[in-house]
Amino acid sequence: MSDELNFLPSLTGSFAKPAAENPTVEMVEAAYRHHGLHWRYINTEVGPENLRDAVAGARAMNWAGFNCSIPNKVEVIQHIDGLGESASVIGAVNCVVRRGDQLIGENTDGKGFLKSLEEIVDPVGKKIVMFGAGGAARAIGVEVAFAGATNITIVNRSEERGAELVSLLNSKTSAEAVFAKWDGDYSVHEGVDVVINATSIGLYPDVEARLALNLDSLTSNMVVSDVIPNPPRTNLIKDAEARGCKVLDGLSMLVNQGITGIEYWTGEKVDGDVMRARLEELFGV
């Protein structure tokens, strides 16, 4: 049978809950189309209660891989066959890849963020303040530490969760991590190079939400980053820009983790500009 008459695309997709506001499907399929890849990406709403069955279904249907988003990134580990290095240290998986007959968990969250950050500033020797201690924060903390950041302050409301991430960074990386209790408006200390929102504050539909942050403590020599892709221009991004900071929006991270994920699945290095253009079109950026 010729290639033209092959009606069986290779399948990839996503298991998340909620799923409707995640634009990854549009971004990935734009890359598949642009590069003429006979692949599809299927966005599905699956929570932890159905994740075992969903992974079994992906195996049965011979999916090449899938993304896991909130709230499945830790839960999925018990349903797959092994972990890559970053995913193992982070303790969370957002990208599963079929290798032979095994499903292996990788984590491209932090890698995507790191690629975006490196386009603006070299993380080596930098001091970082990060809000949040969940899956995205764990991934970003580990990758920026692996990349040479020297000091990481984890700002979080839950002391237990924050201390857990600090302990992970101090034991598994060469960075020095400390915990700061997030109580009222947090003030960023002088000498900090990069400020990161790794929480879901400002994510659609709660687009008016603002971080409890003393904006006067932001200075123009800081890079301020938000992991939220929807909307790309969160209040944090706008507020930081108004203070002369360099900013990094969540679309950059999404695109870069997409490039890494697609390469894991297909072996092809795709054009990130095509993916970003589709996202900007969708969000009217």
Residues annotated catalytic, as ranges: 73
Task: Residue 279: name the closest of 246, 241, 253, 261 by CA.
Answer: 253
Task: Residue 64: name the closest of 16, 10, 8, 6 by CA.
Answer: 10
195 to each of 139, 150, 165, 265, 278, how far by Cα in Å?
15, 14, 17, 32, 27
Cβ-Cβ contacts under 8 Å for 258 (sequence gap 6 or more):
24, 27, 28, 31, 112, 270, 272, 275
Pairing between strand 39-45 and 176-181?
unpaired
State how far the Cα of 130 lies from the Cα of 180, in Å rounded to an integer.
10
Cβ-Cβ contacts under 8 Å for 119 (sequence gap 6 or more):
252
- The values of phi and psi at residue 179, to 5°, are -100, 140
- Cis omega before residue 48 (within 30°)? no
Q: Are 44 and 54 in contact (CB under 8 A)?
A: yes
Q: How many alpha carbons lie under 13 Å from residue 234 in its C-beta half-sphere?
A: 29
If you write DSSP's letter for every residue of 193-230 in order, what string do you get? -EEEE-S-TT-TT-TT---SB-GGG--TT-EEEE---S
| Residue 219 burial (CB count, 10 A) | 13
